[in-house]
Chains A and B, each alone.
Chain A
Amino acid sequence: MKELLELIAKALVDEPDEVSVSEVEGEQTIILELRVAQDDLGKVIGKQGRTARSIRTLLSAAGTKLGKRFHLEIIE
C-alpha cells in the first residue's frame, strides 16, 4: 500500500519530489507515515480533512480484501 499512497500523494501535491512514505508494521496494523512539503499539507488533508478521509477510506477498503489494517498518519 506504500506505493498506492505515494502515487496518490504525488498526484495531489505541487512538490512530488518531497513526498515520502514509510511503512511501520505492527502486529495487526500497518502504519503508513506520509511526509510532504510543508506547503503541500493542505493538499493531502483537504477541506475539512476530506482528502485525508478519502485516502483512509481507500486504505481501509484495500485492507479488508487483504485481511490487514492500514493506518494513515500525516506527519506535520
Chain B
Amino acid sequence: MTEGAAIESEALEDSIQELIDQMLDHLDWDLDVEVHGDDPETMRVELYGEDREILIRNRAEVLDVFQYLTNRIFGRELSDRRIVVDCEGFRARKEAELIEVAARVSERVRASGEEEELARMNPYERRIVHMAVAELEGVTTESEGDGVMKRVVIIPT
C-alpha cells in the first residue's frame, strides 16, 4: 500500500467505525466495534460484546445486514476492497465449515462421477465454495438458480 493509500484507508476506517458506532447507539445494543484496514483486499470489521447473540441468530442475518449496508454505503471509497463484518470469529468458523463441506462433496463427486448440488447460499458463501473447489483436482463449480440465494453445483471434470 502506498503512503497516500494508507492515509486514505485510515480515514475510511474512521468513517466506518463512526457510522457503526452511531448505528449501535441508536439501536442501544451493547456491542463494540473495531475496524482493521491492514489487508489490501478486505476491511475487517469486528463486533463484540454482550449483545452478540442478536447478530448471529437466524444464520447471522443481522451480521450480514451490517456487512451489506456498509459495503453499499462505502462502495465508492472502497473501490476494489470489500468490508467483512465478523463477530468473535463467527465468519472464520463458518468459512472453515464451508471449505470442509466443499472438500467432502468434491471427494464424493470425483468418486461417483455425478454432480451434486449444495444448499442455497448467499454470494459471500458461494464465493468461498467456488474458491475452495477451484483448488481441487477433478471437479469444477457452477452457480444455479435465481435471486441472491443460489446453489453451487459441484461437477466432475
Give the B-binding residues of A (Cβ under 8 A).
1, 3-4, 7-8, 11-12, 43, 46, 48, 50-51, 54-55, 57-58, 61-62, 64-65
Contact = CB atoms under 8 A, between A and B. Distances in A.
B68 A3 contact: no
Interface of B: 19, 22-23, 26-29, 51, 54, 61-62, 64-65, 68-69, 72-73, 147-148
A1 B26 contact: yes
Dominant SS among interface residues on chain B: helix
B26 A12 contact: no
Given A7-B23, A57-B61, 9 more contacts: A3-B26, A7-B26, A12-B72, A46-B72, A48-B148, A50-B68, A55-B65, A61-B61, A62-B27
Q: Chain A: interface secondary structure?
A: helix
A62 B72 CA distance: 21
Contacts of B27: 4, 58, 62
A63 to B, nearest CB: 10
Given A4-B23, A4-B27, A11-B19, A61 B72 contact: no
Nearest to A47: B148
A46 B148 CA distance: 12
Contacts of A64: 54
A57 B62 CA distance: 7
